[in-house]
Amino acid sequence: MIPMPTPSDPALVRVRMDLAYDGTDYKGWATQPGLPTVQGALEDGLAMIIRRPVRTVVAGRTDAGVHARGQVVHFDLTEAEWNAVTRNPDEAGPASTLVRRLSGALSRERGALVVTGASLAPEGFDARFSALWRSYRYAISDSSETRDPLNRRSTYWHREPLDAELMDAEAKAVLGLHDFLTFCKPREGATTIRELQDFGFIRDGQSGLITAYLQADAFCHNMVRALVAAVVQVGEGRHPAGWVSERLEAMVRDSQTRLAPPHALVLEHVEYPDVDSDPRALAFRAAGTRARRTVV
């Protein structure tokens, strides 16, 4: 049970922070003792500025090696801590000052982790539970002509040619609200029901690269990489068209559930309700997301 605040407790403000990172050298988002992680690096930087441990809540945990362009976190500070971020009257407000000071504290990351923005969060905001959807992309090279050594840390070099049109049709066949148990690593007490809102593959006419794009209300552990790997197996001719839908309906995670390599995956964007049209939308969304979903 969460203790109720007392009149002597300091008032808290919630801060939203936007991040981008190259996940190559990190062991994923979540803090792990003795290992480099994105959360660990960020919270170390915040502790230097706020002068106490600051716990962050992330919109979507990323696996080891996975990148992000539009990650979102929140954390809570006292009003005094927020105002103290700006140390003299000549500085800008706390939000821009926090970005500048944290960028300095994160210089040890050599550009792998960048804070792209900070602001006081609207009432009811929760980086994880208030999100409407998240989107990812996954880049694939399936021929020597499309190999670019400068992009090798963010592109999957597949050995065999792929049928991008077949893969696109296979991906679109599993859109909608389903139990994605086949493509998820279940967490105790958590549901694997998700609404896959967009999933497709397209080959760029100039570069020749194939890009997968995915959007869902949320993704469970390993879901993106497992879905991409399944569709790739159809695209290379290992399984017939319709196999991914059959796997989805089977609802069984077994040796046929494979994972695409993590380094080609990028969290692109996290979308939240528009508080200008409804100031209560964030809190309502968070409450609804916390409720256990069922297929309808």
Active site residues per annotation:
63
Exposure string of 69-108, with b = 16+ CB inside 10 Å and e = fewer, is bbbbbbbebeeebbeebbeeeeeeebbebbbebbeebbee
Q: What share of the chain is helix, strand, coil (3-state, %, to 5)?
A: 30, 25, 45
Alpha-carbon distances, residue 246 vs 140, 224, 239, 283 (angstroms): 24, 17, 11, 37
Contacts with 2 (C-beta within 8 Å, 6 or more apart), sequence order: none
Assess contact for 73 and 19: CB atoms under 8 A. Answer: yes
Assess contact for 157 and 261: CB atoms under 8 A. Answer: no
